[in-house]
Amino acid sequence: MKRKKIAVLTGAGVSAESGISTFRDSDGLWENHNVQDVASIEGWYRNPSLVLDFYNARRRQLVDVCPNAAHIAIADLERDYDVTVVTQNVDNLHERAGSTRIIHLHGELTKVRPENCCNDRDGFSEATVFDIGADEIHIGDMAPNGAQLRPHIVWFGEAVPKIEAAIDAVEAADILLIVGTSLQVYPAAGLYRYAGADTPIYIIDPKDLAVRDSRLTHIKDVATKGMETFKKLINSKS
C-alpha cells in the first residue's frame, strides 16, 4: 500500500521549546540585535564583523540545545508516512531528531559559503557550500576560491533558492502540517496556498491565526503538545 505524503512546514516555534530564541516575539530584536543588522544583506555590507560574530554565537548556542518532543514527533511520522520537512529554521534540530528529508528554506547555521558565489538562477552554488559544525569564521577566513566566507543563511533582501522544491513538496502532499510559524515571512508564508483543494491542513500555533481557509484545522497549542493532538487526529482518521 502506497504511503500517504505529509509535508511539514516548520518555523521558529518548534525550536523555541529547545531554547532557541525568535526575533518575532521581541519587537524585531534577535538576541538584543536589530534583525536588519544581522539578518539582511545590507547588514552584511555595513558590518560583516558584527554579522560573523553574531552567527558564531548562534553556532555555539546550538551545541548546548537538543531536539525537543516536537522535533522527535515529526521525525517519528516517517514510520507511517512519506514525510518532507520544509523548515524556515536554520538550526539542525530536525536532523538530530531523525528526520531524513529536509528542505532548509533559509539556509543552515552550521554551513558557510564564499560571499561571491551567487548567481541569478539559484542564489548560490551548492558545490561551494560546506559544513563547519560549531567552528567560528572571521574576517580574513577565505574560501578555496579566495573570497571571504559568509554564513550559509538566506537573509532579508536575498532570494530563497529552495522555494521551488518546497512548493513541489506541498503540491504533492496528501496532508499539510504547519508547526510553529506565524505565516508572516514571505515567500514561505504563502506555501500553504499550493496545497491541493482537498488537502487537509493542520496548523499548530498557540496564537490566533492571521489566515482564513476552509481546509485549515487550528490546533491552538505549543509545538510539543500540539504534535500529540495532531497524531491523535490523523490516527482517528486513518
Residues taking part in catalysis = 106
φ, ψ of residue 216 to 5 degrees: the values are -80, 135
211 closest CA partner among 180, 182, 187, 174: 182
- The count of residues in the chain is 238
Q: Is the dihedral of CA 76, 82, 86, 91 positive or negative?
A: positive
Q: How far apart are CA 206 and CA 155, in angstroms?
A: 26
Alpha-carbon span 48 to 114, nearest angstrom: 13
Which DSSP string do the residues of 84-139 spell out, in sequence order? EEEE---SSHHHHHT---EEETTEEEEEEEETT---TTTSS-GGG-EE-TT----T
DSSP letter (8 states) at residue 71: H
